[in-house]
């Protein structure tokens, strides 16, 4: 089992990607050890003294540390995650539900935030093409849910793009810096596959595509 890690804008938080589904839907934020009973996986993580909070998403586990160095903490966290998935025990205990996503349709109050996030994402430049991810058509959807939770669905120009982690981290950081945003989940998809046809007229003109 290979578990990747991704930095977040908050140096006290680190995202772990186990390469498999964590939650079928929604997100579960466990803010301290007293809430760990909702998840056997969280219990393993909170058993590590330096862990202060855990957030479970569709394909990610974000851990917040109260103290310590990530280089020293990561082996223990990786071991706890691996032990959980190897055990076959469910992530959530029976009767526990994650916060379900709200409708992604803009409503009065979040449509403006969606627009501001989209504009902020234009600061994320694909290093191979030299143009922003919004006008390249790499951002498929931006959904704002209750509590300042933002979900971004995006792609890359090709599967296995070497800039994938850079682009995902850039999108997460740009959205996280917006006022009113408390949590950002960036989901990568290749359905549908990206094609140059989805680029904006400005991007096509920049790249000399007619």
Q: Please list, in sequence order, all residues whose beta carbon lies within 8 angstroms of the beta carbon of residue 94, skipping any fewer than 6 positions away.
A: none
Matching residue, tokens 């959530």? 92
Q: Do residue 53 and residue 120 come from a single domain? A: no
Start-to-end CA span in the chain (Å): 45
**Residue 153 scores a pLDDT above 90:** yes
Domain-located, residue 98: no
Q: Do residue 71 and residue 116 come from a single domain? A: no
Give residue-wise pLDDT tens across range 131-142.
Answer: 999 999 999 999
158 vs 95: which has the higher pLDDT: 158
Using CA atoms, how far apart are residues 68 and 51, in angstroms rounded to an integer?
A: 9
Burial class of residue 2 (count of CB atoms within 10 Å of its CB; 0-12, 13-18, 19+) = exposed
87: β partners: none
Last residue of a domain, one of 87, 103, 125: 87
* Short-list 179, 172, 104, CA closest to 141: 104
Average pLDDT over residues 171-183: 90
Average pLDDT over residues 21-42: 85
Cis peptide before 192 (omega within 30 of 0): yes
CB 20, CB 85: distance < 8 Å: yes
Q: If you average pLDDT over every residue of the chain, what do you get?
A: 87
How many domains is the chain partitioned into structurally? Answer: 2
Q: Do residue 81 and residue 42 come from a single domain? A: yes
The CB density around residue 42, as the number of other CB atoms within 10 Å, is 27
Matching residue, tokens 């909170």? 46
Q: Do residue 176 and residue 133 come from a single domain? A: yes
Q: Is the pTM of this model over 0.95?
A: no
Q: DSSP secondary-structure letter at 119? A: H
Give residue-wise pLDDT tens across range 192-203.
Answer: 889 898 899 999
Average pLDDT over residues 181-202: 89
The CB density around residue 123, as the number of other CB atoms within 10 Å, is 14
pLDDT at 100: 47
Q: Do residue 124 and residue 186 come from a single domain? A: yes
CB 175, CB 117: distance < 8 Å: yes
User: Whole domain around residue 118: which residue ranges?
Assistant: 111-206
């Amino acid at each position: 089992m290979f578990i990747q890690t991704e930095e977040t804008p908050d140096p006290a938080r680190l995202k772990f990607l186990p390469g498999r589904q964590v939650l079928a839907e929604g997100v579960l934020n466990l803010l301290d050890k007293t809430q760990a009973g909702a998840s056997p996986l969280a219990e393993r993580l909170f058993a590590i003294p330096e862990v202060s909070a855990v957030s479970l998403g569709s394909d990610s586990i974000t851990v917040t540390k109260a103290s310590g160095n990530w280089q020293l903490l990561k082996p223990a966290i990786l071991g706890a995650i691996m032990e959980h998935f190897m055990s076959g025990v469910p992530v959530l205990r029976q009767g526990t539900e994650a916060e379900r996503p709200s409708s992604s349709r803009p409503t009065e109050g979040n449509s403006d935030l969606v627009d501001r996030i989209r504009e902020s994402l234009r600061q994320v430049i694909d290093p191979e093409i030299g143009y922003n991810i919004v006008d390249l058509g790499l951002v498929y959807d931006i959904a704002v849910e209750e509590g300042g939770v933002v979900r971004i669905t995006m792609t890359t120009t090709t599967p296995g793009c070497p800039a994938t982690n850079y682009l995902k981290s850039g999108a997460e950081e740009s959205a996280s810096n917006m006022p009113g945003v408390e949590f950002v989940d960036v989901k990568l998809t290749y359905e549908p596959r990206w094609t140059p046809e989805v680029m904006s007229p400005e991007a096509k003109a920049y790249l000399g595509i007619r």
